[in-house]
Amino acid sequence: MNFSICSWVFGDRPIEQTMRDVSVIGYDEIEVHARDYNWEGLVDLAETLDIRIRGLCADAGWPRKETDLSQVNPSMRKTAVNYFKEQINRAYRAGAEYMVLSPCAPGKAEPEENGKAEWEAAVLSLQEIAPYAEERNVALVIEPLNRYESCIINTGWQALLLVKEIGHPFVTTMLDTFHMNIEESSMEAPFHHLGPALSHIHVADTNRQGLGYGRLSWKTIADTIKETGYGGTITVECLPPDLSVFSSAEGKSEADIINEYAEKSLQRLHRLFRAE
């Protein structure tokens, strides 16, 4: 099992510096935000740093309709489909095996139509994109987001229904412990329920801070993951809290905090999954 971290959590830090920092901390991989980078240069840098760009996280967000695969308007939906094809091209250039994405633009908490129409539009969009992704050997990993960030899928069960309706081998799903803590009645059952459809895992604590900075029982979660036989990548996706007078008084910057989270989270993952 490999451990990764999302590049976007490092804020506006240059991607090259982020990769160097992540490598020094000791991560096996980095999940890079699918922005318009010099991907060939990043691939060379990753090789030098001995860190792998195994996956990308789609660059999308509401109210950017061109990044919303659930657009009911056919013209707008086509624009979104083409947008994501370009994102897949970036994953291909990076040599990535997967791209994490949401069936609606993250932040779209309320449907513009009736919800059912958005679901159907998202299915059509992903059915169009999936063969394109397959040609480039990039798996599409559908992420369930909490109700404040997505109006389509919020739970693992809903994500599995969507994956089955799309019906393409290059479309799978994942779980994120931060979103699970908000939406799931159990932190264990979804890992078992998804079965082979589970191809990726994001981790953060209840407050979206680093592992051990909230209230999640990480040993229970780790034991559950082991029980399922999951052997893929676990990716840290944590965020620093809003800086307060207290953290400022302690001399901690946002960069200091996220570096601390990245290091401590990796240490905890090693203890949970790699300890003898």
Q: Has residue 83 got a pLDDT over 50?
A: yes
E-strand ranges in the chain read 2-5, 29-33, 52-57, 98-101, 139-142, 171-176, 198-203, 233-236
Tell me the C-alpha distance between 62 and 65, whole Å.
7
The dihedral over CA atoms of 117, 122, 127, 128, expressed in degrees to the nearest 10, equals 100
**194, two tokens:** 């998804």
Q: Amino acid identity, residue 261? A: Y
Tell me the C-alpha distance between 47 and 194, whole Å.
33
Q: What is the pLDDT of residue 250?
A: 53
Q: What is the pLDDT of residue 62?
A: 86
**79, two tokens:** 């624009």
Q: How confident is the model at residue 275 (pLDDT cuts 50, 70, 90)?
A: confident
DSSP per-residue string spanning 146-174: -TTTBSS--SHHHHHHHHHHH--TTEEEE
**73, two tokens:** 């308007």
CATH code for the domain of 40: 3.20.20.150
Q: What is the pTM of this model?
A: 0.95
**Structural domain harbouring 241:** 2-273
Q: What is the pLDDT of residue 63?
A: 87
Per-residue pLDDT of 127-186, as tens digits, reads 999 999 999 999 999 999 999 999 999 999 999 999 999 999 999 999 999 999 999 999
Number of domains composing the chain: 1
Q: Has residue 227 got a pLDDT over 50?
A: yes
